[in-house]
Structure 1
Amino acid sequence: MGRSCDLLFALAVFILLIHVHTYVSTVPNISNDEAALLAFKSHISYSPNNILATNWSSSSPVCTWIGITCNSRNHRVKTLDIYSMQLHGTIPPHLGNLSFLVSLDISDNTFYGELPEELAHLQRLKLINVTSNNFTGVIPSFLSLLPNLRIVLLSDNQFFGEVPSSLSNITKLQVLGIKGNFLVGEIPRELGDLRYMTFLYL
């Protein structure tokens, strides 16, 4: 009887260790953030003085990289702030893996192409600033899937089409900047339902 209990206990511990190992190996961590940022760096075709090329490196901790701030509690990337660095390139879908990102500011560079739909995974995002780049396409519909957004700055790009009424789904939105694009049509009536809106730049 005693031996059977010991075997059952050992089996239970073994199963528990497998579950713990599986959980730890699948839960995103700073390594996921590092991989996402290195993928982003690989899509930058021009960087004066190679600032990111020399600083964003696996040989140094992610939280010490230029433009990166990490959460002090869980040491995950909280802000990506690389405005006015004369960077040229595109935004890869990997950026959507920065699951703890709160602020994304890549303004005043020359990024181009469309913003990837994978940015919809950034559910903690409160600020997105892509002002003064060369982004194209319609205003991304995935913005309406980011419930914590407070500030959306898309001005001075090459976005075209109509202003989507789905922006009214961002119920906490306070600032919306979409001036300096190629937008047409009417201002959606639904934007008037945004009770926290303070600034609307058209």
Structure 2
Amino acid sequence: MVQSYIAYLAFATVSNITIDQSALLALEAQISYDPKNVLTNSWSSGTSVCNWFGITCDSRHLRVTALNLSYMNIVGTIPPHVGNLSFLVSLSIENNSFHGSLPNELSRLYRLQHLSVGFNNFSGEIPSRMGLLSKLQNLSLNSNNFTRGIPPSLSNISTLEIIDLTYNKLSGSIPSSIFNISTLQGIYLRKNKLSGTMPFINTSSLRVIDLYSNKLSGELPEDMFSHLPSLQRLDLSFNQFYGELPSTLFKCKKLQYLSLWSNNFTGRVPQEIGNLTMLTKLFLGSNDFEGTIPPTLFNCKHLQILSFSANRFTGSVPSEIENLTMLTALDLNSNNFGGMFSSLEVFSHLRNFIICFEC
């Protein structure tokens, strides 16, 4: 009986690895250009799958757990057979020329934690069934040609930490449910065609919100930043937001990078901006801010880049600016500042350059 059981295990192992081998050979068959002949030379049925280039197997089950073909300059499509790699934990094929759509069968990879297909030529919709990848932590579909909307089903993945959909052609609104994923640390949606208003965010683990260059509009909800104690980077540049800045923004005391460039924000910059003492880069240019520069800003002694250009600021530039000893770039162009700077020595500590201080 013992011998029979051992024979059964050996047969099951061979049978399962055969499934993985068949899936990988189906992928190889869809590769139309392999300039380094890596797959041609390595992926052979005469050798163990676990010895193939780009393949990692686990020692216990002898199943394929990782597939990494990044930076190979290969051209091809992804066949549905890849969904048979049931032990796959990591799939990375970034920086190639894969095209076509992502097959729905990828949703069968229920152990998958890392999916990176950035810098390819994929098109079509992001499959809604991707929301079935219940263990996924990192979703990187950046720099492709995905269209239509962001599937709300992604919010079903309670383990997601990074969502990177930058540089695509996504449209429609941002599903508010995505911001309820309790593990989410970074959401990167820059350079798409997303529209609508800013959803309420209730994810205390969130560190990065990057919505640069979309078509988002409306006022920012007053309580939008009430539950973001970990936020370090906020980029809302090149959208169509308007209204005054919500006071809760200045509760994000870990914020290091804040860019609201090229929107339609109005009103004064609140004195509470001085609470953001970790700021290193602040871009408020090309809005409709008015009033004077709040002196509390100079509590932010880590500032390296400061841009207030193309607004309606008035008054004089506070001499306390000389306290920003780490400042390397300053842009105050196209405002209504009055008077002259008392001395260029105020700016003598700018180590690299001044973008413009003629106002």
Q: State the TM-score, normalized to the length of structure 2.
A: 0.49
1:163 aligns to 2:150 (yes or no): yes
SS at match of 2:143: coil
1:139 aligns to 2:126 (yes or no): yes
Structure 2 equivalent of residue 84 of structure 1: 71
Larger helix fraction of residues: 1
1:60 aligns to 2:47 (yes or no): yes
- Coordinate RMSD, CA, aligned: 1.8
- Give how far 1:49 is off: 2.3
Structure 1 equivalent of residue 135 of structure 2: 148
CA distance in 1, matches of 2:31, 2:176: 39
More off after superposition, 93-102 vs 183-192: 183-192
CA distance in 1, matches of 2:113, 2:69: 16
Structure 1 equivalent of residue 23 of structure 2: 36
Structure 2 equivalent of residue 128 of structure 1: 115
CA distance in 2, matches of 1:190, 1:132: 27
- Give how far 1:75 is off: 0.7
SS at match of 2:36: helix
Structure 1 equivalent of residue 172 of structure 2: 185
Q: Check 1:148–1:27 CA distance in 2 against 1; reply closer, same or farther (3 A cut).
A: farther
Unaligned runs of 5+ in 2: 190-359
1:98 aligns to 2:90 (yes or no): no
Equivalent position to 1:198, from 170, 185, 194 = 185
Could you list the per-position Cα deviations for residues 143-199 of structure 1 after superposition, in whole angstroms to 9, with x for gaps in the alignment?
A: 101101001000000001111211100111000000100011221110111010001
Q: For the Cα contact (< 8 Å) 2:65–2:88, is it kept in 1?
A: yes
- Give how far 1:106 is off: 0.6
CA distance in 2, matches of 1:197, 1:64: 35
- AA partner of residue 111 (structure 1): F
Structure 1 equivalent of residue 346 of structure 2: none
CA distance in 1, matches of 2:35, 2:18: 27
Q: How many corresponding residue pairs?
A: 183
Q: Check 1:66–1:27 CA distance in 2 against 1; reply closer, same or farther (3 A cut).
A: closer
Determine which structure has more spread, i.e. the larger CA radius of gyration.
2
- Give how far 1:118 is off: 1.0
Structure 1 equivalent of residue 209 of structure 2: none
SS at match of 2:148: strand
Unaligned runs of 5+ in 1: 1-12
CA distance in 1, matches of 2:139, 2:13: 32
Q: State the TM-score, normalized to the length of structure 1.
A: 0.86
Could you list the per-position Cα deviations for residues 111-168 of structure 1 after superposition, in whole angstroms to 9, with x for gaps in the alignment?
A: 0000111111111000110000000111111210110100100000000111121110
Higher normalized contact order (CA 8 Å, seq sep 6+, divided by chain length): 1
